[in-house]
Amino acid sequence: MQKVILLHGLGRSKNSMRILAWRLERAGFDPILIDYPSTDATIEQLVDLITPMIPKGDDKLAFVGHSLGGILAKRLAKRLPESRRGRIVQLGAPNFGSEIAERANTFGEPLGPALAELEPNEGDDDSGLDIGAIAGTAALPAYGLITGIPGENDGKVSVDSAWGHAPIKKRVAFPVTHSLMTYEKRVLNATIDFLKHGEF
């Protein structure tokens, strides 16, 4: 069975990924839930902390990351030899940052230094990675007046940012909010499809 590393979002725990882990196990994968102190460190410090938790060996490792976990997934995969890099599924990951992070002076203290690093940006270099990006579109248009997020979004991350550099066949959107993405049936099914087939 292929191992799949599951990485939760900012301010959450591995418990938020348990339903997804159960679905992956039923689909024939070997899910590995990883907890990390998402509000206590910068993104690179979190990558440094998680790296020793990644299983050793020569087998390929896939990743599924929600929100910040999707950014961590890319950076962790980059630390692996190319021969070990499996597919990555991002669920509402702020690949190009989020306008909410620009308000880090308001939200930064309880949510930690990683949030302040996620202001709108051009994104990481994703070359050498096979990424499937899932976005949410359920935020009401009026909510954008509060968050400052333009266009379709899930309430925290815009569709454009969630899709990042993923090519057309490797990106999809569903009418779901950011916080419910790890529980939504269509999102879970799409995650499994991408891990199996490499496209949506």
Domain ranges, ordered by start, for the chain: 3-197
Residue of 41, 22, 32, 190 lying closest to 114 (CA atoms):
41
Instruction: Report d(CA 89, CA 45) in Å as an integer.
Output: 22
Sheet holding 3-7, edge to edge: 30-34, 3-7, 61-66, 85-91, 131-136, 171-174
pLDDT at 81: 95
CATH of 3-197 among 3.60.10.10, 3.30.479.10, 3.40.50.1820, 1.10.10.10: 3.40.50.1820
Model confidence pTM above 0.85: yes
Q: Are 129 and 88 in contact (CB under 8 A)?
A: yes
pLDDT in tens, the chain (200 residues): 899 999 999 989 999 999 999 999 999 999 999 999 998 999 999 999 999 999 999 999 999 999 999 999 999 999 999 999 999 999 999 999 998 777 654 554 567 788 878 888 999 999 999 999 999 999 877 666 667 788 899 999 999 999 999 999 999 999 999 999 999 999 999 999 999 999 99
